[in-house]
Amino acid sequence: MTAMVTKEQIAELKQNNLPGLHQLIQEKADSRELLFVLENLGYLPRGFDANVLVPFLKHPNDQVRLWTIKNLGKVTDPRFMKLLLESATADADSMVRREAVSSIGRMRTEKAIPYLTQLLNDSDPKIVLQAIRGLLVFRANLPVKEQLEKLAKHPNEMVQSVIRKEFFQNSNGHEAKEHHATSPRGLQNVVVQGDVREILKYVPDESIHLTFTSPPYYNARDYSIYESYNAYLDFLTQVFCEVHRITKEGRFLIVNTSPVIVPRVSRAHSSKRYPIPFDLHARLVQNGWEFIDDIIWLKPESSVKNRNAGFLQHRKPLGYKPNPTTEYLMVYRKQTDKLLDWNMRAYAWDTIQASRIQGEYETSNVWKIDPTFDRVHSAVFPLELCNRVIKFYSYKGDLVFDPFAGSGTLGKAARNLQRYFFLTEQEKKYVERMKQDLVEKDLFGNETRFSTLEQFAELASRAKPSR
Ligand SMILES: C[S@@+](CC[C@H](N)C(=O)[O-])C[C@H]1O[C@@H](n2cnc3c(N)ncnc32)[C@H](O)[C@@H]1O
């Protein structure tokens, strides 16, 4: 048995004995050893004959083919381009195919242009993205630029986004940044009573920094009666499309929902469970909201409705009904080509310092928070839930919005955390409750303005950016 080759031997052969290195590569029949040599070749010295690598492009082991391609990419020799193109289009392994495109791109020679252009038609979007990366080096070349610009209509969203960012970046990006940290004065610390769909007609585009809300449940409580589940989803879609319009570029929407159960009509029927977060999700992403995260709000089992009584007795499979101890906080961002860094840079240094999250914080997506029970409203946010969302997803001085404000918990948290709030709520009794909290406990701050839809329409027409 021959001894295993070492990194030192490879380095020594590279420096002093290239024919020996060629021989070593050609003679390695064992995949594991061959792979070791290919992985440890490092830079290729002048005089290295890359032809010794070519047979391994057809090697049965995926990793051997991948590393062969990585090494061929280092040679910057257009003679290998045709072979690489063959691997890029015909190899059975998608990682090998992508590496081949990357290797062609890395050669950074104009001779690669026709090969990379051909690969723009590949069915794997990652191949297309690699080819784009290679071609962007030659963007000054008009035909290349034109080819790339056509991809703005490519079916894949990542391809579209790269092309939009590279070629169609908003030329007034600077202006947008200047106003990013401000909000209209007419919306700051304002509570409007009415149907959110009517109210939002008077709110200017790009006014809000963050929306956190818990929409009415589908036919589960007296304030939420809809003709059908579809009509309910249409209603929410309409509201969140408007929220999208009034949200600033790249900022967040966080929706708290959970599947709801509509009880059975009689013993002869079964109850029905509606997967609201999942159905709503599809509609949100179709309407310009980019999915970012799903956070689970976990409640103690003792605080939720017990669905186990029947099963506990009969123990018959199929009749199992787990107690629902979780709700979702689905996190979305208003779609943009700009990175989060662009949003962060819109703030002054002292605002960033003052908004930093201090000390311990929840690092996982499971937030254990006890629910809050309220004598007036049947489904209020716990203050802690609002505190976390506001701290993680907004800066001090931002304007946060709850279209379905209920008892206005988000407003109370916003005020404590030095953010402005804008709340809309349909039910008079809940708005009255907010007024009472203001007068009796000063929970919202004296500067809070309550208005009807008509008064708000008048106020909003006079709104101007501030701060
Ligand atoms: C789940 S509750 C929100 C509770 C709130 N998160 C809190 O902490 O009190 C949903 C609220 O949406 C309100 N609502 C329902 N339809 C509305 C509409 N079209 N416009 C404004 N508010 C509406 C309901 O009256 C209810 O108070």
Output the CA torsion sign for 340, 341, 344, 347: negative
Cβ-proximal residues to 245 (8 Å cutoff; 6+ apart), any chain: 200, 205
Give the position, in ligand 1's atom list, of the atom nearest the Cα of 405. Answer: 5
**Model confidence over 216-250: pLDDT tens digits?**
988 765 556 788 999 999 999 999 999 999 999 99
Q: Are residues 289 and 158 in the same domain?
A: no
From the list 368, 360, 422, the residue with the least C-alpha distance to 391 is 360
Same-domain check for residues 354 and 233: yes
- Residues 227 and 321 reside in one and the same domain: yes
- Please answer whether residues 257 and 277 qualify as being in contact, where contact means their C-beta atoms are separated by less than 8 angstroms: yes
Q: Which CATH number is 410's domain given? A: 3.40.50.150
Kind and range of the H or E run holding 420: strand 420-425
Provide the phi-psi class of 125: left if phi over 0, else alpha when psi is between -120 and 50, else beta. Answer: alpha
- pLDDT higher than 50, residue 128: yes
**Ligand 1 pocket, residue 377 CB under 6 Å:** yes
Paired sense of beta strands 326-334 and 247-257, if any: antiparallel
Hey, whose CA ends up nearest to atom 7 of ligand 1? 380
Scanning 287-334, the segments in alpha helix (DSSP H) are 309-314
In a domain, 29, yes or no: no
Q: Is residue 426 lining ligand 1, measured as CB closer than 6 Å? A: yes
Please indicate, yes or no, whether residues 75 and 216 belong to a single structural domain of this protein.
Answer: no
Q: How far is CA 340 from CA 130, 251, 286, in A?
A: 23, 9, 21
- How many structural domains compose the chain? 2
Determine if ligand 1 sits within 6 Å of the CB of residue 214.
Answer: yes
Rg (alpha carbons) of the chain, rounded to whole number: 30
Q: Which whole-number Å values give the CA distances from 432 to 420, 435, 456, in the listed order?
A: 20, 5, 17
pLDDT confidence of 169, banded at 50, 70, 90? Answer: low
Q: Are residues 307 and 277 in the same domain?
A: yes
CA distance 195 to 412: 21
> For ligand 1, what atom is nearest to the CA of residue 381?
8
Residue 315 lies in a domain: yes
**Cβ–ligand 1 contact at 425 (below 6 Å):** yes
Domain residues for the domain of 226 are 176-461
Same domain, residue pair 151 and 280: no
- 378 CA distance to ligand 1 middle (Å): 10
User: Measuring from atom 13 of ligand 1, which residue has the nearest CA?
Assistant: 404
The Cα 389–Cα 373 span in angstroms is 20
Confidence of residue 175 (pLDDT cuts 50, 70, 90): very low
Average pLDDT over residues 127-147: 92
Does residue 286 form part of some domain?
yes
Do 119 and 241 have their domain in common?
no
**Dihedral (Cα; 456, 459, 463, 467), 10-degree rounding:** -90
**How remote is the CA of residue 223 from the centroid of ligand 1, in Å?**
8
Task: Name which of 211, 266, 274 is nearest 243 in CA terms.
Answer: 211
Strand partners, 280: none
Q: What percent of the chain has pLDDT over 90?
A: 71
Ligand 1 centroid to Cα of residue 371, in Å, is 17
Task: Work out the average pLDDT over 350-359.
Answer: 96
Q: What is the pLDDT of residues 391-442, one digit of tens each?
A: 999 999 999 999 999 999 999 999 999 999 999 999 999 999 999 988 788 7
Task: From 140, 167, 194, give the residue that closes a domain.
Answer: 167
- State how far the Cα of 371 lies from the Cα of 383, in Å rounded to an integer: 9
The residue from 167, 196, 211 where one domain ends is 167
Task: Compute the distance between CA of residue 40 and CA of residue 328 in angstroms, rounded to an integer.
Answer: 47
Kindly state the average pLDDT of the residues 115-124.
Answer: 95
* Alpha-carbon gap, residue 194 to 239, rounded angstroms: 13
CATH number at residue 91: 1.25.10.10
Q: What is the pTM of this model?
A: 0.75
Tokens (6 digits) for 109: 């020679």
In this structure, the answer to whether residues 135 and 186 fall within a common structural domain is: no
